[in-house]
A and B are shown apart, each in its own frame.
Chain A
Amino acid sequence: MRSVIAGLTLALAAVSANADIVVIVNPKNPAAALSADQVSAIYLGTATTFPDGSGVALADQPEAAGIRGDFYQKATGRSAAQVKATWARITFTGKGTPPKELKSDADVKAFVAGDAKAIGYIDSSAVDGSVKVALKL
């Protein structure tokens, strides 16, 4: 019984850890924060700039990572597959390039820390001073 409760507690902890996704930008980005609508527009290709007009470089998480589906569902109300279809339309009509797929939270963080135009999303537990949190989902 005790092990079942411990298991449930662990499972709950895992769920709540997964639930905390943050959208990160480079510390040099002048935007203090981004709204959910702004992040959605950027990740659906509707917006090609940050609110101040500067260009964006998008980072994505791996296909297999659970955070990818959670992020798209929360930020855009769409599944990762639906978003992929949206980017297929953009890619094959030459209107843009899809988010760059990186391997992990650490890689996304490094990408965002190294490019003033970058935006990405990671688990909140991975945040450090190299990046700025623009939105909590």
Chain B
Amino acid sequence: MRFRISTIALAVAASLPALASAVDFSYSGFSTAAYAQSDTDLAQVGYIGQPDGIDSDGTFTTDSKLGVQVTAKFNDQFSATVQGVAYADLTADWEPHLDWAYVRYQPTSNLSARVGYLRAPTFMYSDSVFIGYANSWVRPPMEVYGLSPAYQLRGVDLSWRNNLGPVAVTVQPYYGDSKLDAGDPAMEIEVSEWAGMAVTGEVGSFMFRAGYASIELGTTTEQLVGPITTLRSMAALGCTGCAVDANALDLDGTKIKNINVGVQYDNGTSIAIAEVAQRDTDSYVTVAMNSAYVTYGHRFGSFMPYGTIAAARRDDSNMSSAIPAGSPFSPLAAVANSTLAGGNDDQDSYTLGVRYEVPSFSVLKGAIVKLQYDHIEAKEGNGMFINVQPGFDGDTDMISASFDFIF
């Protein structure tokens, strides 16, 4: 990966002088400096798979970002864009990533195709979730945005706009693969196939959106290789439930469908956002979930107080009952049960915050300060908390402060 980035950088640098006269370059950037602290050290707030998140020690790591983008416009049809962003990925290390690197072809004003490293529009704000300056919250509601931590799509997308009466419709299909580094020590999870589509309709102050994605994973979790092998060997001895559990524990071959709908209303003074999302899968590692949130904010000049209510509910249809209790193989169900117990579960959260637009000054084209309070409650199991220790009572209060700007 490091080799690839430096190769691209060298190629870009080498071609700069030759192209400079004919090419229109533009540079821009965004940054979020954010601190968050909760009232417990027995559980952390973060994305599942992250070895470190937000707890009572407080951290700048989880939500802070720094992104720089360079676009080279060759003519009205062709452009190339590279965006590097430093942030904490699922390994929880804050480090630079080559997030976007693509060539865009725009044969008409309403049609564009891109190939390269992209960001999949899984949920309504997935592709712009790092642009704190443009978003209402310090971080997106984890109940929904935590359902699919795969952001980078290595592949192609198309964007086609058309007007249906008063509605501006955008259809964005995409296809490719991805990989995720997660955990400590980092394990690489292949996303072997990823296909999806986002359809957006905009009319007046309203935006409606529907998203669909089908993901297939291609890597077995290291700690589960042993148990899966045992279960499969028992399956050969006639334990049909063992085969079911083995497949549900094996991320290699796991299929996940993300289906969601969202609506945003923004008339300039009031903003209301709602998204409902479903993660549909048979996997015991990344379990089936149904989630939703509602955000409302009202602007008073440069200030906007906002509130969010979010909920996630586990779909219990993938609970393990494959190996019947009392069967001679029933001790083997323990791995399935412990894996399920460690997965995402029911959670509610309540958020209140205020967003303040700082008057622009100097090189800062615009800046925002946000203060946010979250109350998060695990309703079943550990909710969506990570790194939970014994004795955690299931709920936490958290405060966050961010300074977002673009340059």
Q: Which residues of A contact B (CB under 8 A)?
A: 37, 41, 46-49, 53-56, 63, 76-79, 81-82, 84-86, 88-89, 91-95, 97
Query: A97 to B26, Cβ gap below 8 A?
Result: yes
Given A49-B109, A76-B268, the answer on whether A88 and B127 have CB atoms closer than 8 Å is no
Query: A53 to B110, Cβ gap below 8 A?
Result: yes
Query: A88 to B71, Cβ gap below 8 A?
Result: no
What separation, in Å, do the CA atoms of A91 and B27 have in the docked complex?
A: 10
- From A47, A88, A93, A95, contact of B168 by CB (8 A): A47
Is residue B230 within 8 Å, beta carbon to beta carbon, of the partner chain?
Answer: no
Q: How many residues of B contact A (CB 8 A)?
A: 41
Q: How far is the CB of A91 from chain B (nearest CB, A)?
A: 6
Given A55-B108, A77-B268, A88-B30, 16 more pairs with CB closer than 8 A: A77-B269, A78-B268, A81-B302, A81-B357, A84-B406, A91-B28, A92-B67, A92-B69, A92-B128, A92-B130, A92-B134, A93-B119, A94-B71, A94-B81, A94-B100, A97-B26
Closest 6 CB pairs of A and B: A77-B268, A55-B109, A89-B134, A78-B268, A93-B127, A89-B128
- Interface set, chain B 358-380, CB cutoff 8 A to A: 360, 365-366, 368
Q: How far is the CB of B298 from chain A (nearest CB, A)?
A: 13
Which partner residue on chain B sits nearest A81 by CB separation? Answer: B357
Is residue B104 within 8 Å, beta carbon to beta carbon, of the partner chain?
Answer: yes
Query: A86 to B134, Cβ gap below 8 A?
Result: yes
- Interface set, chain B 171-224, CB cutoff 8 A to A: 202, 204
- From A49, A77, A88, contact of B110 by CB (8 A): A49
Query: B268 to A88, Cβ gap below 8 A?
Result: no
Q: How far is the CB of B171 from chain A (nearest CB, A)?
A: 13
Query: A48 to B109, Cβ gap below 8 A?
Result: yes
Is residue B114 within 8 Å, beta carbon to beta carbon, of the partner chain?
Answer: yes
Is residue B161 within 8 Å, beta carbon to beta carbon, of the partner chain?
Answer: yes
Q: Mark B117-152, 1 if CB is under 8 A from A, else 0.
A: 011000000011011011000000000000000000
Query: B134 to A88, Cβ gap below 8 A?
Result: yes
Contact partners of B110 in chain A: CB under 8 A: 48-49, 53
Query: B360 to A63, Cβ gap below 8 A?
Result: yes
Is residue B316 within 8 Å, beta carbon to beta carbon, of the partner chain?
Answer: no
Contact partners of B133 in chain A: CB under 8 A: 85, 88
From B71, B357, B368, name the one whose CB has the most chain A CB atoms within 10 angstroms: B357
What separation, in Å, do the CA atoms of A76 and B268 have in the docked complex?
A: 8
Contact partners of B76 in chain A: CB under 8 A: 55
What separation, in Å, do the CA atoms of A98 and B127 have in the docked complex?
A: 17
Which partner residue on chain A sits nearest B358 by CB separation? Answer: A81
Q: How far is the CB of B85 from chain A (nearest CB, A)?
A: 9
Q: How far is the CB of A105 from chain B (nearest CB, A)?
A: 21
How many pairs of residues, A versus B, come closer than 8 Å at their CB atoms?
77
Is residue B35 within 8 Å, beta carbon to beta carbon, of the partner chain?
Answer: no
Q: How far is the CB of B333 from chain A (nearest CB, A)?
A: 45
Q: How far is the CB of A85 from chain B (nearest CB, A)?
A: 5
Contact partners of A79 in chain B: CB under 8 A: 268, 357
Is residue B327 within 8 Å, beta carbon to beta carbon, of the partner chain?
Answer: no
Query: B268 to A82, Cβ gap below 8 A?
Result: yes
Given A76-B268, A93-B127, the answer on whether A54 and B360 have CB atoms closer than 8 Å is no
What separation, in Å, do the CA atoms of A77 and B271 have in the docked complex?
A: 13
Contact partners of A78 in chain B: CB under 8 A: 268
Query: A41 to B168, Cβ gap below 8 A?
Result: yes
Contact partners of A97 in chain B: CB under 8 A: 26, 71, 73
Contact partners of B108 in chain A: CB under 8 A: 55
Is residue B330 within 8 Å, beta carbon to beta carbon, of the partner chain?
Answer: no
Is residue B291 within 8 Å, beta carbon to beta carbon, of the partner chain?
Answer: no
Is residue B102 within 8 Å, beta carbon to beta carbon, of the partner chain?
Answer: yes
Contact partners of A85 in chain B: CB under 8 A: 133-134, 366, 368
- Interface set, chain B 23-46, CB cutoff 8 A to A: 26, 28, 30
Is residue B347 within 8 Å, beta carbon to beta carbon, of the partner chain?
Answer: no
Q: How far is the CB of A1 from chain B (nearest CB, A)?
A: 35
Query: A37 to B204, Cβ gap below 8 A?
Result: yes
Which partner residue on chain A sits nearest B73 by CB separation? Answer: A97
Give 5 pairs: A residue, B residue, CB < 8 Å, sorted on A: A78-B268, A82-B268, A85-B133, A88-B133, A91-B28
What separation, in Å, do the CA atoms of A88 and B406 have in the docked complex?
A: 8
Which partner residue on chain A sits nearest B157 by CB separation? Answer: A94
Contact partners of A48 in chain B: CB under 8 A: 109-110, 161
Q: How far is the CB of A77 from chain B (nearest CB, A)?
A: 4
Which partner residue on chain B sits nearest A72 by CB separation? Answer: B268
Q: How far is the CB of A41 from chain B (nearest CB, A)?
A: 7
Q: How far is the CB of A79 from chain B (nearest CB, A)?
A: 8
Q: How far is the CB of A102 from chain B (nearest CB, A)?
A: 15
- Interface set, chain B 382-400, CB cutoff 8 A to A: none
Is residue B159 within 8 Å, beta carbon to beta carbon, of the partner chain?
Answer: yes
Query: B131 to A89, Cβ gap below 8 A?
Result: yes
Q: How far is the CB of B269 from chain A (nearest CB, A)?
A: 8
Query: B69 to A84, Cβ gap below 8 A?
Result: no
Q: How far is the CB of B115 from chain A (nearest CB, A)?
A: 12
What separation, in Å, do the CA atoms of A49 and B111 have in the docked complex?
A: 11
